[in-house]
Amino acid sequence: MRADEFLSLVRKRRSVRAYRPDPVEKKKILRCLEAARLAPSACNAQPWTFIVVDESHMKNALADLTNDSWLPLNRFARQAPVHVVVVVEKPNWTSSLGAVVKKRDFPWIDLGIAAEHFCLQATAEGLGTCMLGWFNEKGARTLLGIPQKSRVGLIITLGYAADPADQPKQRKTMEKIVRWNSYAGESFVKSEAVTGDGGRS
């Protein structure tokens, strides 16, 4: 793979909030799950379980748990033919100890890495995704039979985008987010050399 090919894939990935009803091929879902499985994790704890929900009545019931009547953030969720629930599991003892000593919740960091692996592979497969963090966790736990010792970390909607056209990303420029050698250090002022458009793609 050329260096620019990966950047191209990252630029193409976006949060999709409108889906076609077309079913998603199982082989594509499995490749996305394999990409997530291969993600790194603290002390190789791999503190995750992925629940693929593609039965229509279960998927719609889960989608309904991502909405509140007073704040309907995820009304699009029912459109997606597949939901993938990422469950955070108790990590191994070395990761747990490190989390206590360093006061960092490593399993949740690991979850984010694995979820993005999943979404990047989905993009490579021509699929759209959206990571949902707003949902009724108790309801999802009950619906899917998730044990109390585990947490529902994310729900990822998956399907073919209704509008597959690339859309510009609104991102801060490299000059605003990069410093060299210290927090007050010199900013990176050549973002066009990396992105070709000032970092807004």
Q: Which amino acid is at 185?
A: G
Task: Give the per-residue pLDDT at 120.
Answer: 98
Shared domain check, 78 and 12: yes
| Per-residue pLDDT at 193 | 56
Do 133 and 196 lie in a common domain?
no
pLDDT confidence of residue 200: 36
Q: Indicate whether 138 and 201 sit together in one domain.
A: no
Same domain, 83 and 182: no
Here the CATH number for the domain that contains residue 108 is 3.40.109.10
Domain region containing 195: 168-201
Please tell me the total count of domains within the chain. Answer: 2
Q: Are strands 151-159 and 48-53 parallel, antiparallel or unpaired?
A: unpaired
Same domain, 106 and 19: yes
The answer on 181 and 144 residing in a single domain is no
Burial class (CB in 10 A: 0-12, 13-18, 19+), 37: middle
Q: Which two tokens stand for residue 66?
A: 């991502």
SS3 68: strand
pTM (2 decimals)? 0.90
- 159 and 138 in a single domain? The answer is yes
Question: What H or E segment, with its residue span, contains residue 83?
Answer: strand 82-88
Same domain assignment for residues 146 and 182:
no
Indicate whether 117 and 54 sit together in one domain: yes
If asked whether residues 128 and 200 sit together in one domain, one would say no
State the pLDDT at residue 199.
41
- Taking the chain (201 residues) in consecutive chunks of 10 residues, what is each chunk's mean pLDDT? 89 95 98 98 96 98 90 91 97 87 92 98 98 96 97 98 85 88 78 50 34
End-to-end CA distance of the chain, in Å?
21
**Residue-averaged pLDDT of the chain:** 91
**Helices H / strands E in the chain, number of each:** 8, 4
Task: Indicate whether 64 and 84 sit together in one domain.
Answer: yes
Can you tell me the distance from the alpha carbon of 61 to that of 184, in angstroms, rounded to the nearest whole number? 49
pLDDT at residue 188, rounded to an integer: 64
Instruction: Looking at the structure, tell me whether residues 153 and 177 fall in a common domain.
Output: no
For residue 53, give the nearest of 150, 162, 154 by alpha carbon.
154
Evaluate the CA torsion angle 186, 192, 195, 197 in order and state its sign: positive
